[in-house]
A and B are shown apart, each in its own frame.
Chain A
Amino acid sequence: MRRTLALLLLALPASAQDRRSGFEDMARETQAMQRDDMQNPGMLWVAEGEERFNRDCTSCHTEASMRGVAARYPAWDEATGAPIDLAGRISACVERHQRATPPARESQALLALTAYVAHQSRGLPISRPTDPRLAPALAQGRALYGERRGQLDLSCVQCHDDNAGRRLAGSVIPQAHPTGYPLYRLEWQGLGSLQRRLRGCMTGVRSEPFAYGAAEYVALEIFLNDRAAGMAIETPAVRP
């Protein structure tokens, strides 16, 4: 019986067997910091985002209507005919509907609003990107994930699939599930986006990162969400 079970488990794709959030590999103190909203530094951005939302966004949106939104992004943007991530959507909303200058990528204002909106989906499962219009970007994301790059000639797969759980110097290599963005990194001493994190890996292998907002990052995010579909959103997560 046990043997049959083991065989059944082996037959499942690796992703269904033992996907783990980077949260599980953190020190207990860092986990406690994320769990406790009074200690979680990311909640400062969420609070700022809430203020901005209540000031600038409530003529169209309600807090309740934001629940589940982050779980469905990146999504298809009719206006540009391209996929758009959550920060891009918020930025576009400011530009199109408030007729204001859109906040820059990685600016305090955009991080705060994105963290606030994503926080409304905390605990909800990441949706699988099933919109057929996202299929080309999903395929592009998968290809980018498998592509070797940089002077060190490494792909995402080689660390985050083939060697996840092993140690790169002192750090456990995570499986790269984007469950908690934007998130607070102790290394950054601040909140940052998935794009910032992806850039970190790209410069780590000594490759030229794509510019903030590039379609390649959105494609990678769609692929990563497909890979992490069903895992719970943690925003704002804390990571070492």
Chain B
Amino acid sequence: MAILALLLLIPSARADEAPLTATPGDATRGRAIVADRTRGLCLLCHSGPIPEERFQGNLAPPLDGAGLRWTAAELRLRLVDGKRLNPDSIMPSYYRTEGLHRVAPAQRGRPILAAQEIEDVIAYLLTLREEPPR
């Protein structure tokens, strides 16, 4: 019984199939979240086809082409808790509140993005079907 419970707790290693919400993600809202460096934070580390945001980071691969490389389920896993794939990743887990250390009081117990926001970001990333400019 305990073993069964443990097995149920082990997350799928490759993808999170089930959407986090019943409402489908909205790519327009997702783009706004990605572009907002205090909400999505994405452009601090990644670059992406969002030309109005001039200062984009280069700590992580470009977001361009994300929709070619990954399925919705694969993107969901990488956003929700990419450390399940790579524990050393610098990418924050956007929908995990456990196992963190000294979280500021204002953010304690809260994920970086809400469930619907994550679905919106996934919907936007799926629209990125061109490889980054060289």
Contact = CB atoms under 8 A, between A and B. Distances in A.
B102 A167 contact: no
A149 B101 contact: yes
B71 interface: no
B104 interface: yes
B45 interface: yes
Contact of B59 (A152, A166, A207): A166
Q: How many A residues touch the partner, as a band?
A: 20 to 34
Given A152-B112, A169-B57, A170-B55, A163 B107 contact: no
B105 A208 contact: yes
A166 B57 contact: yes
Contacts of B56: 167, 169-170
Given A158-B90, A169-B44, A170-B54, A150 B59 contact: no
A206 interface: yes
Main secondary structure of the interface of B (DSSP, over half): loop
Interface residues of B, number: 25
B123 interface: no
A168 interface: yes
A98 interface: no
A166 B56 CA distance: 11
A168 B57 contact: yes
B92 interface: yes
A78 to B, nearest CB: 31
